[in-house]
Amino acid sequence: MATERERRFVGPRRGQLIFAIFFFAVSALLLALIGSETQWVKKTKLVAQPRFWPAVGLGLMTVLSAIHLCRLPWRRITRYDWREARKWLSVLEFAGWFMGYVLLVPVIGYLPVTLVFVPLLSWRMGYRGGRMLGLAALFALAVVVVFKSFLAVKIPGGAAYEYLPDGLRSLFILYF
- The pLDDT value recorded for residue 7 is 67
Report pLDDT for 173. 73
**CB neighbours (10 Å) of residue 18?**
15
For the full predicted model, state whether its pTM sits above 0.85.
no
Q: Are 118 and 140 in contact (CB under 8 A)?
A: yes
Query: In this structure, is the dihedral angle defined by the CA atoms of residues 67, 73, 77 and 82, taken in order, positive or negative?
Result: negative
Nearest CA-CA partner of 122 in 99, 97, 100, 86: 97
**Residue 41 in contact with residue 50, Cβ under 8 Å?**
yes
pLDDT value of position 116: 96
Task: Provide the total of helices (H) and of strands (E) in the chain, helices listed first.
Answer: 9, 0
Residue 27's pLDDT is 97
Mean pLDDT in consecutive groups of 10 residues from the start of the chain, 176 residues: 66 81 96 88 84 93 94 83 89 94 91 94 95 96 88 80 80 72
